[in-house]
Structure 1
Amino acid sequence: MAKRNFSRESRLLTPESFNSVFKDPIKAGSPSITVLAKANGLGFPRLGLIVPKKALKKAVWRNRIKRVVRENFRNAQDKLCPLDFVVIAKGPAQNMSNRDLDEILAKLWNVIYRRYKKLQVRLSDPTK
């Protein structure tokens, strides 16, 4: 069984790490969550979270969103590509159940995966 933890090495910690993802990312989004991703060359995925106070006023809402996203990432990280992910929460996320958030994140991870694979094919075959 794969080791499923959310250690320090699995997180985006520095502004430089976040900024690198913001430059030409692979994007997937929903009305409540946006996911940006970029290849990291490390061989394992990393996660960064942006949960703005302006969109989610109460700390309880922000903390719940962060907890659900971290848990979802922790359980899915062995299936994810070696990318740096930045998850940006939006206002509608506060009214969603944890199950709904999990379902949306699973769909967004799959969208990112398909777009990443398509990009790899395009980069490896210059005729496309």
Structure 2
Amino acid sequence: MSKYAFSRELRLLTPEQYKKVFQQAHRAGSPHLTILARPNNLDHPRLGLAVPKKQIKTAVGRNKFKRAVRESFRLKQADLPAKDFVVIAKKSASELSNEELFKLLDKLWHRLSRPSRG
């Protein structure tokens, strides 16, 4: 398997998996989105997305946001720690260009990749 694939085991699939991340997570945020992260017991990171209709009105907008986040995660996953990440869109996320979104995600992935202070 290529280290840049985005296969099923790299996704959060069940409500329980999401719930765990929401319960106790480190967060990194910006005015456009929030990323929650929680260590998992696997040897790879996993990604979940929360893009409410209330925040990004059109399906096209939500899909565009999700595609960009998945792509960013796919390219960064080799550098990410074994954590579950949930990316939550905010209203202004739809105003970002793909380039701005990638830059922002890079910054937030980096912030959440640092060893947790605890």
Secondary structure at 1:38's aligned position in 2? strand
Gaps (5+ residues) in structure 2?
none
Give the match for residue 116 of structure 2: 118
Q: Specify the code of the residue in structure 2 equivalent to 1:73.
A: F
Deviation, 1:110, is 1.1
Q: For 1:14 and 1:3, locate their aligned partners in 2 and report how far apart those are by CA, in whole Å.
A: 24
Give the match for residue 80 of structure 1: 80
Q: For 2:48 and 2:3, locate their aligned partners in 1 and report how far apart those are by CA, in whole Å.
A: 20
Q: For 1:73 and 1:118, locate their aligned partners in 2 and report how far apart those are by CA, in whole Å.
A: 19
Q: For 1:118 and 1:82, locate their aligned partners in 2 and report how far apart those are by CA, in whole Å.
A: 12
Q: For 2:99 and 2:14, locate their aligned partners in 1 and report how far apart those are by CA, in whole Å.
A: 30
Q: For 2:98 and 2:81, locate their aligned partners in 1 and report how far apart those are by CA, in whole Å.
A: 24
4+ residue runs of structure 1 moved beyond 3 angstroms? none
Deviation, 1:113, is 1.5
Q: For 1:95 and 1:23, locate their aligned partners in 2 and report how far apart those are by CA, in whole Å.
A: 29
Query: What's the % identity of the aligned pairs?
Result: 52
Q: For 2:3 and 2:16, locate their aligned partners in 1 and report how far apart those are by CA, in whole Å.
A: 27
Give the match for residue 96 of structure 2: 96
Give the match for residue 50 of structure 2: 50
Give the match for residue 71 of structure 2: 71
- TM-score, normalised with respect to structure 2: 0.96
**Corresponding pairs, count:** 117
Secondary structure at 2:48's aligned position in 1? strand
Deviation, 1:104, is 0.4
Alignment of 1:33-44 (within 5 A): 33-44=33-44
Deviation, 1:118, is 3.4
Q: Specify the code of the residue in structure 2 equivalent to 1:66.
A: K
**What do residues 18-77 of structure 1 show as CA deviations (whole Å, max 9, x unaligned)?**
000011101000000100000001010000000000011101100000000000000000
What is the alpha-carbon root mean square deviation over aligned residues?
A: 0.9
Give the match for residue 27 of structure 1: 27
Deviation, 1:111, is 1.1
Q: Specify the code of the residue in structure 1 equivalent to 2:66.
A: K
Secondary structure at 1:77's aligned position in 2? helix
Gaps (5+ residues) in structure 1?
123-128
Q: Specify the code of the residue in structure 1 equivalent to 2:116.
A: K
